Amino acid sequence: MKNVVSVLVVSLLFVTMVSCSSVSKNEESIELDGKYVGVLPCASCPGIETTFNFSANGTLLKSTNYIDNGVVDVDLPGYWHVEDDSIICISWQVKAPMEYYKQTSDSTIVMLSSDKSEITGELAPFYVLRKQ
């Protein structure tokens, strides 16, 4: 009985170590420390100037400016993490829908739809933010 318990404990430790190392690998596979900017499509204005300031500690600040719309600029603090080794999930400190992005190169991220799929169609190229 003592051997069975020892085997179970060792097995659980091994599984825990493997799962923790895979989480670290996922987080290291996408480095977002820095500023990403772009102009996202807008139904009621020429576009939304958008800036993300990502920090390596998992926090971020999103700044938006609705071009020629008279809407006050908004700064929105939030948190980010990586899911499925490539999806950047962003949640906010205030009640707002989560946002999803995908890193397509070391210097670009692309906004995804709410179901985490890539946006298609003629506006798709405008959902890209570039690192500065």
Q: What is the pLDDT of residues 45-82, one digit of tens each?
A: 999 999 999 999 999 999 999 999 888 888 999 999 99
Domain ranges of the chain: 1-30, 31-131
| 74-131 residue pLDDT tens | 899 999 999 988 899 999 999 999 999 999 998 999 999 999 999 999 999 999 999 9
Token code pair at residue 33: 């420390």
Beta-strand ranges (E) seen in the chain are 34-40, 48-54, 59-66, 74-83, 87-92, 99-105, 108-112, 128-131
pLDDT attached to residue 55: 95
The pLDDT, as a whole number, for residue 86 is 87
- pLDDT reported for residue 32: 82
* Phi-psi group of 40: left, alpha or beta (phi > 0 → left; psi -120 to 50 → alpha; rest → beta): beta
CA 124, CA 127: separation in Å to the nearest integer? 6
Q: What is the CA radius of gyration of the chain?
A: 19
pLDDT band at residue 1, thresholds of 50, 70 and 90?
very low
Q: How far is CA 31 from CA 54, 58, 69, in A?
A: 9, 10, 33
Fold classification of 31-131 is Lipocalin (2.40.128)
Give how far the C-alpha of residue 53 lies from the chain's centroid of Cα atoms, to the nearest Å: 11
Mean pLDDT rounded to a whole number for the chain:
81
Q: How many CA atoms, within 13 angstroms, populate the side-chain half-sphere of residue 106?
A: 0
pLDDT of residue 8: 35
Distance of alpha carbon 129 from alpha carbon 132, whole angstroms: 9
